[in-house]
Amino acid sequence: MGFIRNMKEEIRIIRERDPAIHSNMEVFLYPSFKVMCYYRLAHKLYLGRHYFWARWISQKGARRTGIEIHPGAQIGRGFFIDHGHGVIIGETTVIGDNVTLYQGVTLGGTGKEQGKRHPTVGNNVMISTGAKVLGSFKIGDNSKIGAGSVVLNEVPPNSTVVGVPGRVVKRDNMALPQDELDQTHLPDPVREDIMSLQRANAELTNRLIDLEREMKLLKKGT
């Protein structure tokens, strides 16, 4: 895809996914747009084994936008970073098509691996604010990662993950249309666990009351 076509696609994606953008000119001020321009040039240099210059350009982009994308990362079409400050994407990260990241997301390694150290993110994935995905595993297609989650293991396709450490709390979602890219309407496993404990406690309490009544009846009978 040529430079002009890339720019047009970036403008379209940002305007589709961020209602705060009111004109094409505003897109040129957008951190996501700027960092992707730096990334494309740096990635091209990286593929040509010009590693120093690739890193020099990527670090320049990081200083200007607050978003750090290693030039070795592989990023598909339709990629979007909302706001984006604090986003970090590691060298061996592979990102599919139509992926959305929010501010503070880290796609990193654990520090103990060689070779492929960073995540592979499937198509149509949303990773919410502050989430950390650490390790060389895959986030399956059409999945959501909740805000603040720490994901350390592979995520099956069509899943919703929340918590620290992250766990799958919902499966078999549909592919994510743009109107479902919100970070709030996700399951709350802690609340669900508390409610389950409350139900169990109520059942035990009722059972104890029944047993006390039975004991009283037995004593009267004797």
**How much is the pLDDT for 209?**
85
What proportions of the chain, in percent to the nearest 5, are helix, strand and coil? 40, 20, 45
Residue with tokens 């990081």: 62
Distance set, CA 216 to CA 34, 53, 68, 98, 219 (Å): 77, 86, 71, 67, 5
**How much is the pLDDT for 211?**
84
Fold (topology level) of 3-187: UDP N-Acetylglucosamine Acyltransferase; domain 1 (2.160.10)
Assess whether the previous peptide bond of 187 is cis (omega < 30° from 0): no
**How much is the pLDDT for 87?**
93
Contact 161/167 with Cβ under 8 angstroms? yes
**How much is the pLDDT for 13?**
83
Question: What is the rounded distance in angstroms from the CA atom of residue 49 to the CA atom of residue 91?
Answer: 14
**How much is the pLDDT for 179?**
47
**How much is the pLDDT for 67?**
93
**How much is the pLDDT for 30?**
85
Contact 176/142 with Cβ under 8 angstroms? yes
Give the pair of three-digit tokens for residue 218.
């037995």
Contact 86/104 with Cβ under 8 angstroms? yes
Q: Is 140 helix (H, G, I), strand (E, B) or coil?
A: coil
Which residue ranges of the chain lie beneath pLDDT 50?
A: 175-176, 178-179
**How much is the pLDDT for 187?**
61
Question: What is the rounded distance in angstroms from the CA atom of residue 33 to the CA atom of residue 27?
Answer: 7
**How much is the pLDDT for 178?**
46
**How much is the pLDDT for 165?**
85
Question: What is the rounded distance in angstroms from the CA atom of residue 53 to the CA atom of residue 123?
Answer: 30
* Length of the chain (residues): 222
CA distance from start to end of the chain:
91
